[in-house]
Amino acid sequence: MASLARRRATDYTVKAISIGFAGLSLVLLAWIIWTLLSRGLPALGPHVFTRITLPPGAGGGLLNAIVGSLIQIGMALVIGTPIGLMCGTFLAENGRGTHIGNVVRFVNDVLLSAPSILIGLFVYQLLVVPFGGFSGWAGVVALAILVIPVVVRTTEDMLALVPIGLREAAFALGAPQWKVVTMITWRAARAGITTGILLALARAAGETAPLLFTSLGNNGWSLNLNAPMASLPIAIYQYAASPFEDWVALAWAGALLITAGVLALNIVSRLVLAKMK
């Protein structure tokens, strides 16, 4: 065995390296945020929110992309949340310890981490090819498929925290299961389930890859979900890779908006979760 002095020296060295690694990751986070602020803020004027995307040099904004994103994310939540909520409830209330429950849980975990671009390809095959064109609806469905597993996971975890005694008390009074679930367990886990929906919203807001082959993007003003629809991530992707200075600046402004929104959602949901536990 090495001498005490040497073991101590190793201990200090490893501790110093660990502190260095933690510091490094914080510095990188700060660097990314600083980059976004320093390049995004100067480009962020009222025109970003009042004008639609225009040709380079014409002083366009991101209005259609922002509105398109909000519509698609909103619809994706409307479709994905109920399915995710019911499936999470199924896992927590009916599927615990059963074979089918374990399989569904496994499949959901795979969906949660599956490459999002493949969801885009899938929806392309499912909706774009048969219906003959890119559409906002296809984008909505792709985002909904990303929303579902996040909601399932948090709903199940949060329902598992509700004490069994609460359910037993309700059942003992003769309440049917739908009443126990909707009036007792869902209410008790309300804050946690909302957190899951916020996290799903944050995930859907930042995803680019699933929209590439579904809603495609649209440089004009369109609220029609049956036609290609603009979205913020797609606009950023197009603009960031362009050779035009004003487009790149708009891409940074959009990137700042998305990141600020997503980080705010994450911090809020973490605060809610921390309060619950």
Partner 1 sequence: MDATLSGAQTVKGLAAAKPTGRISDPLFVGLLWASGIFVLLLLGLIIAMLFEGGLPALREFGISFLWSTTWNPVTERFGAGVMVFGTLFSAVIAVIVALPLSFGIAFFLTEIAPGPLRRPIGVAIQLLAAIPSIIYGMWGFFIVVPLIAAYVQPPLIEWLGPIPLIGALFQGPPLGAGMLTAGLILALMILPFITAMFVEVLESVPPMIKESAYGVGATTYEVYRNVSVPYGRSAMVGAVMLGLGRALGETMAVTFVIGNATRMSASLFAPGATIASTIANEFPEASIGSLKLQALLQLGFILFVISFIVLALSRMLVRSKLKG
69 binds partner 1 (CB under 8 A): no
73 binds partner 1 (CB under 8 A): no
Query: Locate tokens 């995803």: which residue?
Result: 207
What are φ and ψ of residue 229, in 5° steps? -130, 140
| Amino acid identity, position 255 | A
Closer to partner 1 by Cβ: residue 18 or 50: 18
177 binds partner 1 (CB under 8 A): yes
**Residue 255: which residues within 8 A CB-CB, separation 6 or more?**
36, 40, 236, 240
Rule CB under 8 A: choose which of 78, 183, 220, 223 binds partner 1.
Answer: 183
The residues with which 229 forms a beta bridge, in sequence order, are 216
100 binds partner 1 (CB under 8 A): yes
175 binds partner 1 (CB under 8 A): yes
Return the residues of window 25-54 that contact partner 1 according to CB under 8 A. 25-26, 28-29, 31-32, 35-36, 39
131 binds partner 1 (CB under 8 A): no
C-alpha radius of gyration, the chain, whole number: 23
Structure tokens, 76: 């994706």
CA distances from 277 to 58, 91, 155, 270 (A): 52, 21, 15, 11
Which residue stretch of 43-51, 62-70, 84-92, 223-231 sits at the interface with partner 1 (rule: CB under 8 A)? 84-92
Nearest distance from C-beta of residue 196 to partner 1, angstroms: 14
236 binds partner 1 (CB under 8 A): yes
Do residues 247 and 234 lie in contact, with contact meaning Cβ atoms separated by under 8 Å? Answer: no
266 binds partner 1 (CB under 8 A): yes
20 binds partner 1 (CB under 8 A): yes
| Amino acid identity, position 184 | I
Closer to partner 1 by Cβ: residue 54 or 260: 260
